Every structure is written in C-alpha cells, then in structure tokens.
Structure 1
Amino acid sequence: MSRWEPNARGRLEQAAMELYGERGYEKTTVTEIAGRAGLTERTFFRHYADKREVLFGGSVALQGLLVDTLAEAPASASPIDAVAVALQATAAVFDERREQSRRRQEIIAANVELQERELVKLDSLAAALAGALRERGVPEPAASLAGEAGVAVFKVAFGRWIGGSGEPGMGACIQEVLDELKAVTAGGRT
C-alpha cells in the first residue's frame, strides 16, 4: 500500500458502511474495514478513534454548522426561531446524503451501544444549541428549553424524513415538525 491515499476518510467510511450492512456492526473489525478500503489499520486510526466513530464522525461538523448558523440568526428571532434557522441550515447536507443517512440509521437501530452513543451525541447538540443561545443573551431556562426542543424537532423530523420517500425534503420535515411543536405548546392539537 502506498504512503498517501486520496480520500482515505471517505473510503474508510464507505468500507465500514458496506461491512456493517453485510456482517453487522458487532462482527466487523477495524482490520476488515481498512482492508476493504485498501488502507492500513494505522491509517484508520489516524482518522477515527474506533469503529464506532465512523458512524459519528460527522457530528462535530453538524454541531459547528448548527452553532455558527444560530449565531448568525437575526437578533430579533425568538430562541426557538433562531434554533429553527440553524436546523434548516442542516437540511441541504442531509438531503445530499439521504441513502447514507438511512443506512447509518439502520445500523444504529440494530445495536444498543450505538443507540446510546447517538443519544450522547444528540445531548451534546442540545447543549451546544443552548450555549449558543446563551451567547445571544437568552437566559436560562429558556436557552436550555429551546436547545432541547430543537433536538426533539430534529429527531422527529429526521425520523419522518428517513422513513419517507425523499419528498418532502429534510427542510420541509423540519418545518412541519416545528409547526406541530408550536401548535402543541400553544395549547392546540395538530
């Protein structure tokens, strides 16, 4: 194998997803992932701490996108509307990766350890959103409530989007779920 391989991270991710789908997460090893990608284990560990992180490696970028977009939301936006702006910024990213997102979710759903990891990552997103809201001057508990509500909207919208045919897109699913949340909190029924 050569010393430098183009798109090693992407190749490792693709190999892992294929193997997790074929053999299951538990039965797949780092050695097999690296071999399928045509890379070494050492290269794998340069990109990922463990085989679990292949599924969660994008969470840092997702969190950055959410926090950065929330920070740029109009100053007049309510906390939940600022969170909505941030959530909408993720829609295009997800729409471009629909099949990969669906495969990833199937793998996570089949493994309790991965489900727990997903919950930890979602909790980190809620905390990051709340922190960004506090930076905007939103007091507690409003910042934490809006951050948690935003993650709840994301989870429900993602489930609806993943389970559907691709239409409507993720952005429309986010808006539908946000509207339903607002109706529920206003005392109405959806």
Structure 2
Amino acid sequence: MSSRDQVPYTVLMARWEPNAAERLAHAALDLFAERGYENTTVIDIAQRAGLGKSTFFRHFQDKREVLFGGSAMDGLLTEAIAAAPATATPLEAVAHALDAAGREVFTPARREFIARRQAVIAANPELQEREALKNLALIASMTDALKRRSVPDLTARVAAELGALASTIAFERWSQTTTGADFSEIARQALDDVQASTALC
C-alpha cells in the first residue's frame, strides 16, 4: 500500500475542496483570534483549513496577505474609475469606485469577516502600519486612474484623498449599522458629507 493509499479519503478530498482561499482566510482569522497573530504560523493556518502548506502559498505570499489580499482592491477601484461616464466629475468617478467596492468587497455576506479582520489589525501595531501603507497605495492608484482621465494632478490627488476619507467614514458607519444598509449608499452619503465639510473650511 502506498503512502497516498494510507491517507484517509476525507482528508484527500479536503485538500482539493474548492474555495481554498476563503477557507484559509477564515481559518487564519480563527487562529489569530485564539492565539494572536504573532503566535500563528502558515502551517497552523493550512492545517486548520484542512489544506497543505503548498496550497497556502498558491493563494497567499505570507500570513499577512491573508488579511490584505494583494492588489485586488487596487484593480477594482482603478477599473471602476476608468469605467465611469466620460462626463463624470473627478468625485463622481471616485463615487463610481466606491460603488464597485460595495458590490464586490463590502457585501452583507462579508460583513462579519471584515469586522473580525479589523479587530485583528487593531490589536497589532505591525498590521496597523501595513494597513496604513495599503491605504496610501490605494490613494496613489486612484490618483493615477483619475489622471488617466485627464484630471489635473492636484485635482486628482484631492479627489482621491477625499474618496479615501469617505471610504473610511463609510466603513465605520457600515460596520456599526444594524439596518443592513448597503455600503455603496453609505459611501456616497459619506462622500457628500466630506465634500460639504470642505466648504466650511
């Protein structure tokens, strides 16, 4: 009998079960909450998900990327800005990007996962720094996307900064709401609030 034959069938099936990235992400959050981020290894995460270490590295570069997800958000926002109507103002193009984030990322089904992710980050200074750097990268990506729409440099930067601030405010409101309100709707209201506030400065 080969070593493969000795492995239980259920374990083999678990290793090849679909949605591996999602399973790994949920396993990681469970372990981060139980043991702390620093005390959790990639092998721990893979084992909790019923997968091998090689499967983990097919989806994530390291355990931090379970929380930060590579450049997926960059692409989502820049593509949405590019797809905004040609007549859209810079802030309207940014609102188009926030709508996309609401459809693809900040969905009701992912609300619990995102809240748990934020709790892990809030408890770890290293992860807070990584989150701040990611946010700066997103602002830079939105700025570049606006500039490709022939928006002047300074205007593009200001619109991207306001969009990022509105997104932060919207996330806080969305996380705390008990009405099941849509993130896109909350984000657009936050963007309106931010824009109105700048008129008072």
Same fold (TM over 0.5): yes
- Displacement of 1:170: 1.0
- Displacement of 1:92: 2.3
Amino acid at match of 1:18: D
What's the counterpart of residue 175 of structure 1? Answer: 188
Identify unmatched segments of 5+ residues in structure 2: 1-10
Amino acid at match of 2:100: A
What's the counterpart of residue 198 of structure 2? Answer: 185
What's the counterpart of residue 68 of structure 2? Answer: 56
What's the counterpart of residue 5 of structure 1? Answer: 16
Amino acid at match of 2:47: G
What's the counterpart of residue 144 of structure 1? Answer: 157
List, as ranges, runs of 4+ consecutive aligned residues in structure 1 with deviation greater than 3 Å: 1-4
Could you tell me how far apart the structure 2 residues matched to 1:10 and 1:91 are? Answer: 19
What's the counterpart of residue 89 of structure 1? Answer: 100
Q: CA RMSD in A?
A: 1.7
Count matched residues.
187
Deviations 1:36-57 (A, max 9, x none): 1112222212221111110011
Identify unmatched segments of 5+ residues in structure 1: none
What's the counterpart of residue 85 of structure 2? Answer: 74
Residue in structure 1 matching 2:117, options 82, 101, 104 = 104
Amino acid at match of 1:60: S
Could you tell me how far apart the structure 2 residues matched to 1:109 and 1:145 are? Answer: 27
Could you tell me how far apart the structure 2 residues matched to 1:35 and 1:127 are? Answer: 37
Q: Which SS does the other structure have where 1:187 is aligned?
A: coil
Could you tell me how far apart the structure 1 residues matched to 2:185 and 2:77 are? Answer: 17
What's the counterpart of residue 134 of structure 2? Answer: 121
Amino acid at match of 2:63: K
What's the counterpart of residue 153 of structure 1? Answer: 166
Could you tell me how far apart the structure 2 residues matched to 1:31 and 1:140 are? Answer: 45
- Displacement of 1:167: 3.1
What's the counterpart of residue 56 of structure 2? Answer: 44
Amino acid at match of 1:155: T
What's the counterpart of residue 28 of structure 1? Answer: 40
Amino acid at match of 1:19: L
- Displacement of 1:169: 2.3
Could you tell me how far apart the structure 1 residues matched to 2:45 and 2:38 are? Answer: 13
TM-score normalized by the length of structure 1? 0.91
Identify if the C-alpha distance between structure 1 residues 132 and 150 changes in structure 2 by more than 3 Å, giving closer, same or farther: same
Identity %: 47
TM-score normalized by the length of structure 2? 0.86
Contact kept, 8 Å, 2:166 with 2:190, in 1: the verdict is yes
Moved more, 157-166 or 47-56: 157-166
Deviations 1:2-22 (A, max 9, x none): 496132222211211111122
